[in-house]
């Protein structure tokens, strides 16, 4: 069965600090997708990234970067020079293509608070 | 990008009444839609998978007679919470999967409060 673990329940940083959100996953599939979503207080999920299991290249998008390591089943998310607007709950999610019909399994989420 | 809408965004109802929530894909066709439920400070839990023209597949522990799902067209799925009770109060989120793609696009959510 697929499982996603976000061990950090809450993180609090001061503006301009870098912060890394951890995500560890479990799956028996060889083909799967990993996602990160941001959920601000309004509740609407904001898509950040999708990575397929065959692409281990790290990705950078502005202040955001992602480190995908299949050897440790991790897909960590780093925000560089954090800003107050980054405050939100961040979810990591896994979608197995072969066994689960692309259903999404979410981690428990990490509440990030960026203080001025 | 693909847009998914939900209506209503917020609803308050009395215990015992039924509430219908609509999920629409506005600019793409979705053969599959998903319904999630989120309690405060908790993660999203998949309730059911809805396929156009067929019966929904419910996750373990979700009462199919209480949460009725209809996916009558490629752009609309509805979730009806029947005989709602205060414990059904939650944030309900739908997503739609574009036919050509495996990615899910999420609606803005519906906050249900049952008094």
Residue A3 — very low, low, confident or very high, per pLDDT cuts 50/70/90? very high
Average pLDDT over every residue of B63-89: 94
Task: Check A50 against B103: CB less than 8 A apart.
Answer: yes
Distance CA B110, CA B95 (A): 12
Q: Residues of A with CB below 8 A from B103's CB?
A: 33, 47, 50
Smallest CA–CA distance from B98 into chain A, residue:
A102
Position A15 pLDDT exceeds 90: yes
Distance CA A14, CA A54 (A): 35
SS3 A70: helix
B97: left (phi over 0), alpha (psi -120 to 50) or beta: beta
Q: CB neighbours (10 Å) of residue A53?
A: 17
Closest CA to B94 of B50, B45, B42, B35: B35
Smallest CA–CA distance from A108 into chain B, residue:
B43
Distance CA A31, CA A8 (A): 26
Best residue in A94, A106, A112, A113 for a mutation probing chain B (most B CBs within 10 Å): A106
SS3 B88: helix
| Residue A58: predicted pLDDT | 86
Closest CA to A45 of B36, B108, B19, B68: B108
| Burial (0-12, 13-18, 19+ Cβ within 10 Å), A74 | middle
Spatial contact of A1 and A56, defined as CB atoms under 8 Å apart: no
Average pLDDT over every residue of B77-84: 96
pLDDT in tens, B5-56: 999 999 999 999 999 999 999 988 888 999 999 998 899 999 999 888 888 9
Peptide bond into A53 cis (omega under 30): no
Report in angstroms the alpha-carbon separations of B12 from A40, A44, B63: 22, 19, 21
């Amino acid at each position: 069965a697929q499982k996603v673990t976000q061990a950090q329940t809450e993180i609090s940083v001061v503006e301009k600090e870098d912060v890394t959100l951890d995500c560890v996953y479990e799956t028996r599939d060889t083909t799967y997708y990993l996602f990160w979503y941001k959920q601000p207080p309004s509740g609407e999920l904001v898509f950040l990234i999708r990575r397929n299991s065959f692409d281990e290249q790290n990705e950078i998008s502005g202040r955001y970067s992602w480190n995908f390591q299949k050897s440790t089943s991790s897909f960590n998310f780093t925000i560089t020079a954090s800003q107050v607007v980054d405050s939100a709950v961040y979810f990591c999610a896994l979608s197995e293509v072969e066994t689960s019909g692309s259903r999404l399994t979410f981690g428990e989420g990490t509440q990030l608070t960026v203080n001025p | 990008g693909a847009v998914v809408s939900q209506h209503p965004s917020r609803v308050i109802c009395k215990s015992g009444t039924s509430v219908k929530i609509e999920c629409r894909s506005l600019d793409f066709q979705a053969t599959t839609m998903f319904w999630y439920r989120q309690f405060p400070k908790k993660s999203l839990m998949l309730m059911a998978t809805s396929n156009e023209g067929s019966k929904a597949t419910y996750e373990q522990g979700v009462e199919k007679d209480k949460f009725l799902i209809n996916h009558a067209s490629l752009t609309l799925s509805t979730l009806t919470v029947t005989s709602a009770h205060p414990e059904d109060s939650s944030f309900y989120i739908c997503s739609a999967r574009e036919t050509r793609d495996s990615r899910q696009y999420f609606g803005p959510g519906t906050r249900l409060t049952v008094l």
